[in-house]
Structure 1
Amino acid sequence: MADRHLADDDESSVADREPSEHSRGRLRRIEHPIRAVVWAVVLVAAITASFLTGRLVQVPDRDQLAQAQRPIQVTAQVEERVVDARTVMVGRVVAGRTQMLNMNSLPEPAVVTRQAVKVGDIIRPGSLIGAISGKPVFALSAPLGLYRDLYTHDSGDDVSSLQQALRGIGADVDVTGRVNWKTTAAITKLFVGKGFPAPTRATVGAGKSSPSGTGEESAASSHPADKPNAQDDPAIPYTSFVPLPVAEATVTQSLPVGAVVAKDTPLVTVQISANTVSFRADAVLAAKLSEGQGVSIQADTQQFAGTIAAISEFTEASEGKIPGRDITVTSSDPKFAELKAGLSVTVLPQAPHEKSLAVPTVAIRQDSEGNYLLIPGATGADTKQPTSQRIPVTINYSGNGWTAISSDLLKPGAEVILR
């Protein structure tokens, strides 16, 4: 019995504790009433915002939906303009021919004692190109047939060529074929004008003339000892002149003072022909080009006027080049001569087309009937696709994204549909 009473007491105590714990749980659920209120407000605000958004958004009507689904036509205007249909040709600068200015005979030793010209200088007939072992060297117009030293009364074809060359530089000399005082006076003026003493028998040589001299005058010149002042007689040293084959030449190499002149190391080397541009054109393009035709040469930011100088025969493909004809272009612009060999340039014919009706090339269409354009037609709310009208055209030429056309149905400003 005692044990039963103890058990009943335990159950009673447990029952007493349970309501107490339940009460505490209820109190915990309302420990943060502010948070509950905040969450409630947020929920109400979200519901209200959703309602208002739904009221503000309008459902597009059927016409608007149809309009939005209709394709958009992209158009451009017909213009009257110059369509540049020229083909851009790419070529390279080719250096002109060079020539060494060699003398027929060199003194021993042949040392440069004056450097009269430098690389890039222009030399002409009558120019001093330098001095070798104290003796000046002048350029004279070719042909120049000098092969011996000349003295008064010497005669021959070599004398005639010298007199002709002297006349070319403005000397008062007659072409007689015989050395006279005018001839020697012109040589003396040439030497003294550049700071060298006048050449005489004593400074030039022994005074022997070639067998071409005839008569008593020639005999007298062969025996200078019979004359009291023979050593002071004027003379013409043939080693002081070199032939220049062109009216102007550009120096590409010039030996400095102290250098030794040799056959393969001349005093001066010159460029005797101008730089050119060379490119290869295929058969179609070459047929549009002709010798003497003007072109424009573009080198970096520089532009030069040029002329087609030569068109070669047809050549098969070689060295990475297409089959076609080699085109040579020249330019008289002085700055063109300064371009370096191998420089890549572009060449364009100088004559563009006249103004004509033109449309963007992407507007051109083609079917079994030929070339045509589409112009916009009338559209309505009940039309799912925009209408268009077919306009036949004749294509003349194209270039730079534009096509020149002919049509009696189009005028400048008309709208055409692009692709």
Structure 2
Amino acid sequence: MTSENQQGGTHLNTRRKVLAVAAGAGLVSLGGVIGAAFVKSPEQFRAEAAGPDATVLTARVEKRVLASTVITRGAVGATHQVEVTPATAAGASTALVTGVYREIGARVQPGDLLLSVSGRPLIALPGPLAAYRDLRPGDSGLDVEQLHRALRALKHYAGGDRVGVFGPATKLAVRRLYRRVGYAVPDTGGFNGRGDLPALRAAADAVELAQAEVDAAQASVAGQGQLAAAKRKLARAKDDQAALIATTGPMVPMAELAYLAAFPATVVSVGAVGQPVKAPLIVLSSGALEVACRMRPDQVGALQNGMKAQITSESLGNSTSGTITSIGPLTTDTETSATGAAPVSSGAAYRLVTVTPTKALGSEWNRQDVRVAITAAQTPGEVLVVPVSALSAGADGKTTVSVVAGDGQQRLVEVRPGISGDGFFEVTPVNDDLVPGSRVVIGK
């Protein structure tokens, strides 16, 4: 039994060894298969390291109105701007602002009282010529003619004096003007004309005395020679009196008038009550508001009067339309050199382009910095358009676009380009079809 048991144990051990060896061999074989699956040749590594196939970027062909737009900045301002700084009023030692009657942004009409300096008024009147002298009775000239027109517009003057002459009718009109604004009329003789009273009285006395001499000569038996001399004396006295009357009385100091070429006007800036007068004391803008754009010469090449524009104020959150009304010459700002020699350039050359709004702008637009989009060209109707990057120019001079079919195949279509704008080109196919919705290659 012992011997048989030993033999049985030996056979069992032998079978176990055989199974172990077989299992090990199986594992080695399986490891070889797995290892073979992970082992790659250099060619495989290079192929897998290469990038993916190139992706074709496309865009759709559109049909719409195409516009070429030039974008710039502009400053809103009135057609005319006037700066006024009145001189010290007569009899005042200091030029001081004593009243402000039109605040910043206020509308100004002809005849309006703007402010007062040292107790004297500043009145707005219509006229293109700035006041440059005091106007006194007996004066004549274009400035007096302008005063006549201004007073006539306010219904204070209905004629009566020779054109451009400051006569009796003008005096009466000046009195009416100052009565309207509530101030005493200025006079050649000072307050209430007191300074002229002695001379006027003396002239009246001279006339009276001369008349008495004529009366006496006529009543006496004196000869005709004495009577004639008395009459000549009387005539001279009357002429002197008339000349004195004609050159005295109501006048208009230049410091009390602000002439504006157009109304209504707007107060742009004004001094404060109680402050000394500093130039400019008041700035007035008149006429319609417009936009001035300083543009580089290369921007202006395609522009012309009449082109449409869109005006946008970001701060106001508002937009309006307009048109180009003028394109100025090439300009360079200059400034005096430090040595006081000839002026020198102080910036790049530019051309001033004026854009006039289609509808009048409100005063809130005045002095705004705005964005201006000018339509330099526009197709008359809808056209086929593609991105600029879709166009290719060949060595043969032909322009083409590459159209991608549904299966990914590409074909070249010859086109004639038209206007461009906002990154797109108008295109017209030459011999092939190109329809809205077609996809064209714009890059890879």
TM-score range (shorter-chain normalised) is 0.5 to 0.7
Structure 1 residues 216 and 260: alpha-carbon distance in aligned structure 2, compared to 1, 3 A threshold: farther
Aligned length: 324
SS in 2 for 1:108: coil
Cα deviation 1:163-200 (Å, max 9, x = unaligned): 23322444433251444554233223222222335566
Cα displacement (A) at 1:278 = 2.7
Q: Which residue in the other structure is 1:289 paired with?
A: 303
1:138 paired with 2:161, answer: no
Q: Residue 347 of structure 1 aligns with which residue? A: 373
Amino acid in the other structure paired with 2:67: D
Q: Residue in 2 aligned with 1:88?
A: 71
Indicate conservation of the 8 Å contact 2:383/2:427, yes or no: yes
Query: What's the secondary structure of 1:309's corresponding residue?
Result: strand
Q: Using structure 2 for the length normalisation, give the TM-score.
A: 0.59
Given candidates 162, 179, 193, the residue that maps to 2:180 is 193
State the SS of the aligned residue for 1:87.
strand
Residues 404, 121 of structure 1: CA spacing in aligned structure 2 closer, same or farther, 3 A cutoff? Answer: same
| Cα-Cα RMSD | 4.1
Q: CA separation of 1:375/1:306 partners in 2, compared to 1, >3 Å: closer, same or farther?
A: closer
Instruction: Tell me how far apart the structure 2 counterparts of residues 314 and 178 of structure 1 sit (CA, whole Å).
Output: 43
Query: 2:85–2:279: 8 Å Cα contact kept in structure 1?
Result: no
- Do structure 1's residue 173 and structure 2's residue 190 form an aligned pair? no
Aligned positions of 1:91-130 closer than 5 A: 91=74, 97-103=81-87, 106-109=90-93, 110-130=95-115
> Contact (CA 8 Å) 2:97, 2:274: kept in 1 or not?
yes
Partner SS, residue 219 of structure 1: helix
Distance 1:98 1:145 in 2: 12
Deviations 1:3-32 (A, max 9, x none): xxxxxxxxxxxxxxxxxxxxxxxxxxxxxx
2:282 paired residue number: 268
Separation in 2 of the partners of 1:376 and 1:223? Answer: 98
* Residue number among 349, 359, 364 corresponding to 2:386 in the alignment: 359
Q: Distance in 1 between matches of 2:238 and 2:354?
A: 58
Deviations 1:262-303 (A, max 9, x none): xx44653334686643322233x3221234544323332332
Q: 1:223 to 1:97 in 2, by over 3 A?
A: closer
For residues 394-418 of structure 1, the C-alpha deviation after alignment (integer angstroms, 9 at most, x for no partner) is 1113333432101142253352332
Q: Residues of 2 paired with 1:413 and 1:345: CA distance? A: 33
Residue 302 to residue 353, structure 1, CA distance change in 2 (3 Å): farther
The runs of 5 or more residues in structure 2 that have no matched partner are: 1-51, 200-235, 334-344
The 8 Å contact of residues 61 and 440 in structure 2, kept in 1 or not, is answered as no
Q: How far is 1:336 from its partner?
A: 7.2
Distance in 1 (CA, whole Å) between partners of 2:295 and 2:405 is: 49
Deviation at 1:107, TM superposition (A): 3.5
CA apart distance, 1:81: 0.7
- Choose the corresponding residue for 1:235, options 242, 250, 269: 250
Write the distance in 2 (CA, Å) between the matches of 1:412 and 1:204.
Answer: 90
| Structure 1, unpaired ranges of 5+ | 1-68, 225-232, 380-385
1:334 is paired with a residue whose SS is coil
Q: Secondary structure at the match of 1:88?
A: strand
Aligned to 1:398: 420
> Are 1:416 and 2:416 an aligned pair?
no
User: In 2, Cα distance between the equivalents of 1:313 and 1:220?
Assistant: 59
> Over residues 219-268 of structure 1, what are the superposed CA-to-partner deviations in whole Å (9 max), with x where a residue is unaligned?
336279xxxxxxxx96234256324242244323323333344xx44653
> How has the CA–CA distance of structure 1 residues 253 and 417 changed in structure 2, closer, same or farther, with 3 Å as cutoff?
closer
TM-score where L is the length of structure 1: 0.62
